[in-house]
Amino acid sequence: MPDPENVIIIGSGPAGYTAALYTARAELEPLVIEGWNWGGLLQQTTDVENFPGYPKGILGPDMMQDLRDQAARFGARLQTEQVTRVDLSSEPGGLHSVWVDDTEYKTRAVIVSTGAEHRKLGVPGEDELSGRGVSYCATCDAAFFKDHDTLIVGGGDSAMEEAIFLAKFGRSVTIVHRRDEFRASAIMVERARAVENIHFKTPFEVERFESAPGEGMKPLSTVVLKNTITGETETMEITGAFIAVGHDPQSELVQGQLDTDDEGYVRVQGVTTETSLPGVFAAGDLVDPSYRQAITAAGSGCKAALDAERYLRDVPVLADDVATV
């Protein structure tokens, strides 16, 4: 078996590539197993205008390519493959195992940055119009809908927060929810109701999104809503629809090995990126149910790299592993 790695980074996106940049500059020669869909959710994003350093904005895929190239420039080794299983149980200073199919890699430290996925409605037109009117982040995209008629789909605190933020830009914001009662806290519902251009439409659910008729890639123009009690449908003219029904952390790989919360987000220790196992760190949207921004994910990746570097500096290699290091 080849010599073990100093650190393996599982996943990519802003967190993974920032961790790769920092560990590479620390001469740890990180191995980044970035996944088939490298770049994370920003590969599905068009214009990014709120990431520092891009005064004119940048396309999400272009930004991910920049981060990827920067990490590689300093020596990060990038493998576009999918980690299939891990064994993270070891004593401090011991080795962890990471597999890509039948190939096993040994490593002294692991940074997990597998991210999260937007929870989708699964209705016709949603995927086709993603980036052309359908969005999953009002904080990211609200400015593109200044003086437009928009809607938010969801009934939790996140939906209310997104609606309040979007209302600063949109001409109107309609919150669509399948029930008359909301999962959101009473105070968040009251705050949303107090905003003049926020309206509520319950109990309705989205049946489909539609673009204007004609050939070519047309933007979102209407949404068909169905009353969940009567079954009757009606059409609204909108140019922006924001889906706020939750996220699913991509933590299946480490379930049963790392501590997670009830929703599957990996728990970290205090302000660090340390997980419940020594030598294993987690970063990005995988640990963040609250902010989920590219800049916060990148900052989290930086912290994970610094935590891993300190761990490798301060924790001696176990005697059983000396011969292989």
Q: Where in the chain is the domain with CATH 3.50.50.60?
A: 5-117+247-324, 120-243
pLDDT in tens, 233-243: 999 999 999 99
Residues above pLDDT 70, as percent of the chain:
96
The CATH label, of 3.20.20.540, 3.40.50.720, 3.50.50.60, 3.40.30.10, for the domain at 120-243 is: 3.50.50.60
pLDDT in tens, 73-108: 999 999 999 999 999 987 888 899 999 999 999 999
Indicate which residues carry an active-site annotation: 137, 140-141
> Which CA distances in Å does 71 have to 22, 28, 93, 142, 318?
8, 12, 26, 31, 30
The CATH label, of 3.40.30.10, 3.90.420.10, 3.50.50.60, 2.40.37.10, for the domain at 5-117+247-324 is: 3.50.50.60
pLDDT in tens, 156-205: 988 998 999 999 999 999 999 999 999 999 999 999 999 999 999 999 99
Task: Find the length of the chain.
Answer: 325
